[in-house]
Amino acid sequence: MKLLNTDTVKEARDKLGERCRETMLRTEIVGLRDAAGRILAETIISHENIPPYRRSIVDGYAVMSKDLAAAGDMIPSMLKITGEVLLGSDPAGLRAEPGCCVYVPTGGYVPDGADAVVMIEYCEPFAGGMLAVSKSVSAGENIVRIGEDMAEGDTLLEKGRKLRPQDTGVLAAAGVCEVRVFVPWRVSIISTGDELVGPGEKPGPGQIRDINTYTIAARSGAEGFDVVRTASVRDDRDAIVKALETARDESDVVIMSGGSSQGKKDMSAELIGELADSGVLTHGIAAKPGKPTITGFDRASATVFIGLPGHPAAALMVYEQTLIRLWRELTCQPEERRLRARVTVNVPAAPGRRTFQLVRLSGGDMPEAEPVFARSGMILPVSAADGYFEMEENREGVRPGDMVDVVLWK
Ligand code: AMP
Ligand code: MG
């Protein structure tokens, strides 16, 4: 079987994206406790001002700042204490009047009339309800204004954001108890190869331990996908078909690894062609690593099929560039942050192919990227790499001193 109609990585993603956008992007509503780690499917706008009242950031006395203009260590200013604000309640008619002050705890409501709060450390109560203050304050000092944290109408969190713990705090503060998020894809992983044994087994002559099942499952989990099934299957047509059919019934994405090139026992393309009603959409991508890559989409069951190369480094990179990126694009996630770094040595690009080069980073203010070469089938260098940079299809390579943008490994 020949590698026909080689696509760029983007073409491969777009072909899948066009077909699965409608059927494969489901959303659901989750409560705040389940929101972290999920991808927002709506933009959240503030309907309130937070804080909704002027809030003190210290324990102290609410004052009119001009009353303390001359206050200092040597000559404190004297104010009359006219009341105390209780935390969690409104000041009940209390007002700061000239020459007077009101006690306010941290987080308390700053009464009308006051324009600053002086910290308790600078205050000393005296008999007769008087307070000596040994420090001046400027207007606004120690007060968070109404709406200073979030104002009514502010965009709080945008669609496509992967919610972090602190984001759930924003939602809680804004009174948003439920949010609409994308339903993660259910993923099945089928590793194929007569040579594969499990990680708990001792490989015999010509055998190796199955790596891809574990890297791809873990990478899926890290992206938030739901890994519903993994299977390691021999290069046996019937066994693979059976595994693919079961996986199709249970998942949104069926990932095969191995058997994607043109060897005698390589069946990915043929089987994906049979199982996906689109037929094979992409047969080979113009990428290094990762040329033998196959995709298909079965509309009837709404299932994406991907045949990844067997080589672990290639399988992981192709998975990243196809399915993970597709998910991120469809769910409106921003591009991942990249770290600018200086390349230390010559790195050639593969002509006509997009090259993904693993690197290790060193250095502080100006990071240096040293290429890591993982020969076919090797995994330790992949693990030692901090990330990778891309070289476009028409690029010849990079030279020492060139700057590149490194995507950090998840
Ligand atoms: P294949 O695409 O099946 O020809 O596999 C290419 C290379 O990747 C071969 O050397 C396989 O032994 C190796 N390989 C395939 N699947 C796995 C796997 N799940 N874990 C580790 N290596 C694999
Ligand atoms: Mg194989």
Ligand number nearest CA of 269 is: 1
Query: What is the 40 CA–ligand 2 centroid distance (Å)?
Result: 39
Looking at residue 256, which CATH number applies to its domain? 3.40.980.10
Among the three residues 330, 365, 388, which one is the final residue of a domain in this structure? 330
Looking at residue 43, which CATH number applies to its domain? 3.90.105.10
Q: What is the pTM of this model?
A: 0.93
- Among 189, 216, 232, 257, the mutation site with the greatest number of ligand 1 atoms within 8 A of its Cβ is 257
Taking every pair of Cα atoms in the chain, the longest distance, rounded to a whole number of angstroms, is 99
Span 251-281, pLDDT tens digits? 999 999 999 888 888 899 999 999 999 999 9
Asked whether residue 320 falls in the same domain as residue 228, the answer is yes
Asked whether residue 165 falls in the same domain as residue 306, the answer is no
Q: Are strands 294-298 and 280-283 parallel, antiparallel or unpaired?
A: antiparallel
Span 25-70, pLDDT tens digits? 999 999 999 999 999 999 999 999 999 999 999 999 999 999 999 9
Asked whether residue 284 falls in the same domain as residue 403, the answer is no
Looking at the domain assignment, is residue 150 inside a domain?
Answer: no
Asked whether residue 244 falls in the same domain as residue 356, the answer is no
Q: Which residues surround ligand 2, an ion (CB under 5 A)?
A: 193, 258-259, 310
Query: What is the 192 CA–ligand 1 centroid distance (Å)?
Result: 8
Q: By mean pLDDT, which of 3-12, 375-384, 393-402 is the weakest?
A: 3-12
- Given a cut of 70, whether residue 117 has pLDDT beyond it is yes
Which one, of 393, 386, 213, 396, lies nearest residue 288 by Cα? 393
pLDDT at 263: 84
Asked whether residue 37 falls in the same domain as residue 178, the answer is yes
Asked whether residue 234 falls in the same domain as residue 111, the answer is no
Looking at the domain assignment, is residue 362 inside a domain?
Answer: yes
Q: Which residues have any ligand 1 atom within 6 Å of their CB? A: 191, 193, 195-196, 208, 210-213, 257-261, 263, 309-312, 377
Rounded mean pLDDT of 191-201?
Answer: 97
Q: What is the mean pLDDT of the chain?
A: 95
Asked whether residue 226 falls in the same domain as residue 310, the answer is yes
Rounded mean pLDDT of 65-79?
Answer: 96
- Among 196, 294, 316, the mutation site with the greatest number of ligand 1 atoms within 8 A of its Cβ is 196
140-156 in b/e form (b: 16+ CB < 10 A) is ebbbbeebebbeeebeb
- Given a cut of 50, whether residue 1 has pLDDT beyond it is no
A 10 A CB-CB count for 267 gives: 23
Q: Give the domain extent around 169.
A: 28-48+156-182
Looking at the domain assignment, is residue 3 inside a domain?
Answer: no
- Among 230, 236, 265, 311, the mutation site with the greatest number of ligand 1 atoms within 8 A of its Cβ is 311
Looking at residue 65, which CATH number applies to its domain? 2.170.190.11
Looking at the domain assignment, is residue 149 inside a domain?
Answer: no
